[in-house]
């Protein structure tokens, strides 16, 4: 359920929307973005460790690499939305 609506060049609260509810939803989105960034950094560190151990051909390395790409895509979508 949307709590905002787009008007002209910006957003305003939708009718019958509590400002506190909108702030709570925004906070949850910001938390999700922060968790994605943290998971991305953790995944990069794991990939670096595997590289140092010459495990770049392992299944684990390939899984972590795929996870990194997925996280990068999600972070990119957030960054587009955030402007």
pLDDT of residue 3: 92
pLDDT of residue 42: 98
The string of DSSP letters for 23-71 reads HHHHHHHHHHHHHHHHHHHHHHHHHHHHHHTT-TTSHHHHHHHHHHHHH
pLDDT of residue 30: 94
pLDDT of residue 82: 83
Q: What pLDDT digit, counting tens, does each position of 59-73 carry?
A: 999 999 999 999 999
pLDDT of residue 47: 98
Q: Which residues of the chain have pLDDT under 70?
A: none
pLDDT of residue 2: 87
């Amino acid at each position: 359920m949307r709590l905002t609506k787009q008007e002209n060049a910006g957003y305003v609260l939708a009718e019958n929307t509590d400002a506190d509810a909108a702030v709570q939803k925004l906070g949850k989105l910001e938390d999700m973005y922060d968790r994605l960034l943290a998971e991305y950094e953790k995944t990069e560190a794991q990939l670096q460790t595997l590289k140092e151990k010459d495990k770049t051909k392992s299944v684990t390395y390939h899984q972590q690499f795929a996870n990194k790409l997925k996280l990068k895509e999600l972070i990119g979508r957030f960054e587009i939305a955030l402007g």
